[in-house]
Structure 1
Amino acid sequence: MATSLVLDASSQAPLHRQLYEALRASIVAGRLSPGTRLLSTRALAEQLDLSRNTVMNAYTQLLAEGYLVGQLGSGTYVARELPERRPAQRALIRPPSKGASPPPISKRGTTMAAAHAGLSATLGLIQSGMAFRLGTPSVDAFPSELWGRLLHRRWQRSWREVLSHQDPRGYLPLRQALADYLATSRGVRCGPEQVLIVNGSQQAISMVAQVLLDPGDAVWVEDPGYIVAQGVLKAAGATLVHVPVDEEGLNVEAAIRLSPNARLATVTPSSQFPLGITLSHRRRLELLQWAERSNAWVFEDDYDSEYRYVGRPLACLQGLTPDARVLYTGTFSKVLTPNLRLGYLVVPEALVETFVAARIFSDFQSAPLEQAVLTDFITEGHFSRHVRRMRTLYAERQALLVEEARRELAGLIDIGPADTGMHLLGWLPPEMDDRTAAERAAAAGISAPPLSAFRGQSSGRGALLLGYAAVPERDISEGVRRLAQALR
């Protein structure tokens, strides 16, 4: 395998980046055919006279993008279906053949299948291509060597504790560390007993739906908004009430007119997805007052609040007033890596026992070893340093994307900087359909999903969502040029 991998020690490009590109080119060209087993990271590092971390970083990037797949205890293989060859609008659930009786499934199963069918085209566009994939942190900047040392140390010192039975709420030192961090950085009012460790924000919203909603209950959702969370709510039998978002965020007055007796409101107040708007203080108070008055709840998804480039991160909804009727969630998928399936859910004291029961009946607990390593990562200060580094890196990548877009995409896309987040909106001319533009971009190997795919009842000017956090600088420049060619 190594004979086709030519690296240039004099190049300014990092060696892990060169190795990634060489492997990707061999896979795309077919020199490494689907299903081929790659050398182990140690063996390839010895062949190429590289550090093992260099090889691991390249493999990690290819795994995250779908060019490689790992099989536990077997090795790493070239994916049998590459990202470039995936149809953008493929349904993952095959329709039954003609004459075949449909399998007997529940109403909830039917609802889930229908919700997924509506997501498949958009998810295909998000996953295709390299630039400008959405909602993904920089895997190449993940502190893999440090994480490996912490992992090894934890295993050496406390493997018995790690393998023993754990509290379904999660590893107590991690919950304590999170309660302290959230209090100082986000203004969250909670103790460790109110923190539940979950497998990401999707599990958090799923548990909230199970505990707080009955089939048919109305739920306010932002429009445009996060369609994956909306799919979870649909699967739980909720009735979605699409509430318009304006320059102040979720329009609470409009929501009350549409459905005053809703049981739940789901919001992304720190950086509204996908528009990036911050919910105004006035709207925040209106939302909390409505929840108190209506005996309803607010689900606050603080998915990327760490990435605010102007001023300090804003205080969260949950901490604005004592005893706020708010359930607060965050995830490490946007800060560290999507494959670290760890997040947290902060619940009011009165609901702790009920949510612990829901956690037990869900999957009991998250991976204890990862929880223990994450605890060390936070308490030893690595997490705060990593966030500061990523904030600087992402601000630089955002600025480059704006600069390149203004030079190469003038007249095709209107784009400007944002104070928060990991993506920018590229606004299209009024006469250009954003779904058509997204499909053209996907055909050119560019991931740029359309804003209209995240709309429910609302309408408006079309735009493309351009993620920059996971895209190295040279790929931003190349991606902009390819996107310009596709749109022209």
Structure 2
Amino acid sequence: MLSIELETLKIHIADPKLASLELRVRVQRALRQLILNGVLAPGCRLPATRTLSQSLSVSRDTVEMAYVQLQLDGYICRREGSGSFVSDKLGAGLLGTRKRHGSLPAALRPKAAQPAALSGRGADILANGGVSDQQVVKAFATGLPETRTFPVETWERLQRQASKDCRSSVLLHGDPQGAEPLRQAIADYLNLERGARVTADQVLVLTSTRQALFLCAQVLADANQPILMEDPGYFGARKAFEMAQLKIVPVPVDEKGLRTDRLRADRSGANTIYVTPSHQYPTGATLALERRLELTAWAAERQGWIIEDDYDSQFHYEGLPTACVQGLDTFQRTIYLGTFSKSLYPGLRMGYMVLPHELVKPMTYARSILDGHTPQIAQLTLARFMDAGHFGAHVRSMRKIYAVRREAMAHAVQRHLSGIVTAHLPPGGLQMPCLLAEGWSEQDTIRQAARAGIQLPGLSRLYARPPAAAGWLLGFAALTPHEIDTATRRLAKAIAQPFAA
């Protein structure tokens, strides 16, 4: 074995990533890597166990056990009286590698960047990027609820009860449609609080709204078909539809929500539309009643589908919340999406769809292929949490807290950012749209805020067509009034400083 190869072997054995392994395993893996890298070519003679053990300062037994394993795995062959050799059966591939790179250690060879062999869909996903979820509370990330006041003790007690009562059955695969107790609890809640018309057999329990959108994109439309979407609209929905290679056709919104006149004028051939009627994302507009009825009539005429995302309708601060479109839809063309990520906590990973009867089976089949089912113990715990009244109590408590924080956000913007942005007080939800005054750059302010550790979600990226409104969407739910004021003051200071590109 050449000295350079011996030194490379020592480097591999000393790799910190292998520190937890037995020495014989480290020696075996290091030799294997030299063979795979082509440093030790097929037919190459290996040192005798005594010689190599002395060179590595390890016992002969250690090297012997490494050689035995390499022989069992087919990397080397051992001939009595002749020695140990790299197996010739490894073929010309390793010889070619040897010829191209010579005897340089793998760690020292230049590595040419090779593009990943992706499908057309995969290449589009890579080019367009994913969706980034905020994993820590940071001003002013959107979609984050207050989790510090969540009744953890109550939840844990109910989880223990569910585990005890159901025993080993919760350890098995669950119903792809969802646990019946939770589906019934969801149906009861929606009928009472959202004016829906739902039975438990129409509910499909999922991990998230994004999963629901993915299922809709896969089941309701083929690649390259058009789908209608509010403009501006939810970034995650756009990503889900793009991943399914659908053609997104934007429909503008105004202060009354989706422009149904523009919807009826659409000639794209689309028969499915994604909307957020109760609290339009991101403008905060509520879809007027007459437009809701026009929307359901449009779906009936087209024999199409309405995907109604009711993502944070529990949190309404002015007057009574408007009933969901699903409850108004006498034609049964509405697919209702809900989530517990904002009403409870994001780590729960629990959402649901309410489906017209004819879609229950295909959507459940599609879900069974995608990921099987949602963990049963979490479903049964949530069902008990809802049945015992804890869910309703928690939502009412959070609604009061968020109302105070919404006011604190508006006052902080007025106090510290007057002349830079204008806040639009939303009637509900967990974030506040703010429009930048003329002369201010959205991208520059976002970069300046990032220097101060503040996340400013921009508004313009939520628009599919110009003109896009420049501004921010400030999440306030996860921050106390004091934290809101402090962060806003810090933001104002960061923006006031000249930005160095």
Q: TM-score range by the shorter chain?
A: 0.7 to 0.9
SS in 1 for 2:227: strand
The residue number in structure 1 matching 2:177 is: 169
Alignment of 1:109 onto 2:122? yes
The residue number in structure 2 matching 1:303 is: 311
SS in 2 for 1:141: coil
Partner AA of 1:293 in structure 2: E
The residue number in structure 1 matching 2:236 is: 228
Distance 1:336 1:154 in 2: 19
The residue number in structure 1 matching 2:141 is: 133
The residue number in structure 2 matching 1:414 is: 422
Partner AA of 1:110 in structure 2: A
Structure 1: runs of 5+ lacking an equivalent: 1-96
Contact 1:261/1:294 (CA < 8 Å) preserved in 2? no
- For each residue in 1:148-183, what CA deviation from the matched residue of structure 2 results, as whole angstroms up to 9, or x when unmatched? 111122222322232234211000011011111111
Please give the residue correspondences for 1:453-464 in structure 2 after superposition, counting only pairs within 5 Å. Answer: 453-464=461-472
Deviation at 1:380, TM superposition (A): 0.1
Contact 2:435/2:471 (CA < 8 Å) preserved in 1? yes
Contact 2:452/2:491 (CA < 8 Å) preserved in 1? yes
Distance 1:410 1:128 in 2: 28
Distance 1:270 1:449 in 2: 22
Contact 1:132/1:446 (CA < 8 Å) preserved in 2? yes
Distance 1:167 1:127 in 2: 30
Distance 1:372 1:325, change over 3 A: same
Distance 1:287 1:405, change over 3 A: same
Partner AA of 1:108 in structure 2: R
Contact 2:339/2:351 (CA < 8 Å) preserved in 1? yes
The residue number in structure 2 matching 1:341 is: 349
Distance 1:272 1:321 in 2: 19
Structure 1 window deviating more from structure 2 (162-171 vs 420-429): it is 162-171
Contact 1:128/1:445 (CA < 8 Å) preserved in 2? no
- For each residue in 1:220-267, what CA deviation from the matched residue of structure 2 results, as whole angstroms up to 9, or x when unmatched? 111111111111101111000111111111112223434352031000
Alignment of 1:478 onto 2:495? no
Contact 1:129/1:442 (CA < 8 Å) preserved in 2? no
The residue number in structure 2 matching 1:437 is: 445
Alignment of 1:355 onto 2:363? yes
Partner AA of 1:113 in structure 2: L
The residue number in structure 1 matching 2:401 is: 393
Aligned residues, how many? 387
Contact 2:228/2:248 (CA < 8 Å) preserved in 1? yes
Partner AA of 1:176 in structure 2: Q
- For each residue in 1:357-416, what CA deviation from the matched residue of structure 2 results, as whole angstroms up to 9, or x when unmatched? 111111110011000000010000000000000000000111111122211222122124
- For each residue in 1:189-212, what CA deviation from the matched residue of structure 2 results, as whole angstroms up to 9, or x when unmatched? 121111000011000011111111
Alignment of 1:372 onto 2:385? no
Distance 1:461 1:356 in 2: 39
Contact 1:415/1:426 (CA < 8 Å) preserved in 2? yes
The residue number in structure 2 matching 1:261 is: 269
Distance 1:222 1:153 in 2: 44
- Correspondence for 2:248 among 240, 245, 264: 240
Alignment of 1:194 onto 2:202? yes
Alignment of 1:150 onto 2:158? yes
- Correspondence for 1:315 among 323, 336, 340: 323
Contact 2:137/2:478 (CA < 8 Å) preserved in 1? no
Structural RMSD (CA): 1.8
Structure 1 window deviating more from structure 2 (351-360 vs 169-178): it is 351-360
SS in 2 for 1:426: strand
Contact 1:130/1:446 (CA < 8 Å) preserved in 2? yes
Higher RCO (CA 8 Å, separation ≥ 6 residues): 1
Contact 1:223/1:458 (CA < 8 Å) preserved in 2? no
The residue number in structure 1 matching 2:100 is: none
Contact 2:305/2:335 (CA < 8 Å) preserved in 1? yes
Deviation at 1:115, TM superposition (A): 2.6
Partner AA of 2:301 in structure 1: R
Distance 1:113 1:293 in 2: 38
Contact 2:296/2:331 (CA < 8 Å) preserved in 1? no
The residue number in structure 2 matching 1:290 is: 298
The residue number in structure 2 matching 1:72 is: none
Distance 1:243 1:98 in 2: 48
